[in-house]
Amino acid sequence: MTMIPAKMPKLVKKIFPNYVWDFFSEARTSSEKILYLTFDDGPVPEATEFVLNELKKYNAKATFFCIGDNVQKHATIFNKVIEEGHAIGNHTQHHLEGWKTDTKDYIQNILEAETFIKEHNTQKLFRPPYGRIKKIQGKQLRTLGYHIIMWDVVAKDWRKDVSEEDCLKNILNHTVSGSIIVLHDSLKALKNVKYVLPKVLEYYSNAGFRFEKIAI
């Protein structure tokens, strides 16, 4: 996702119409203002605990795209995500990049992760690490019943060369009702997330938005 802009271009969304990029259609038919926060790469106790505490302050719900290996290692915090009413998605077992991985191995890695989260990934949500997935991989996943969830806005919170302030601007400058926003509950992103998440929750809550988990 290094070269991907903060706001996903409309052209990219049109090229890959079988992926879920946003919920603009739903937003246009509703009088409510709704945003969809998503968190990748967890669960990681320190980072995920912080995220959960901030979400709870605003009664906000989110969707967590979990790495299977982290679910195995940190079952307690994973269960807390479930208990607090958030949605779960698959982010592979070992954070594999689809472009660099044989399709058979890629699918198998996703199915391995699913063994640890399937009870809670009832909608069969999947997000490819780095946002990179081969067309054939996406096709096979859809055949297996998965919804491939991408994004409308990405904060770039994991990047060391992106400041806390710029991460916040990436969200505030591009988010509209129906946007799917990407953040990370990882140690790499934690410094930026600690700055950004409270401000995003406060700003949009004061503007009359609700934060909902993804429901397909």
Q: How many degrees, rounded to 5, is the angle at CA 145 between CA 10 and CA 95? A: 70
Asked about 105 being catalytic, the answer comes back as no
Asked about 86 being catalytic, the answer comes back as no
| Residue of 74, 86, 91, 184 marked catalytic | 184
Query: Is 3.40.50.720 the CATH classification of the domain at 33-211?
Result: no
pLDDT tens-digit profile, the chain (216 residues): 447 899 999 999 999 999 999 999 887 788 889 999 999 999 999 999 999 999 999 999 999 999 999 999 999 999 999 999 999 999 999 999 999 999 999 999 999 999 999 999 999 999 999 999 999 999 999 999 999 999 999 999 999 999 999 999 999 999 999 999 999 999 999 999 999 999 999 999 999 999 999 999
**b/e 105-114 (16+ beta carbons within 10 angstroms → b):** ebbebbbebb
| Residue of 22, 40, 157, 185 marked catalytic | 40
Q: Which residue from 162, 147, 190, 203 is spatially nearest to 5, judged by alpha carbons?
A: 162
Global pTM? 0.96
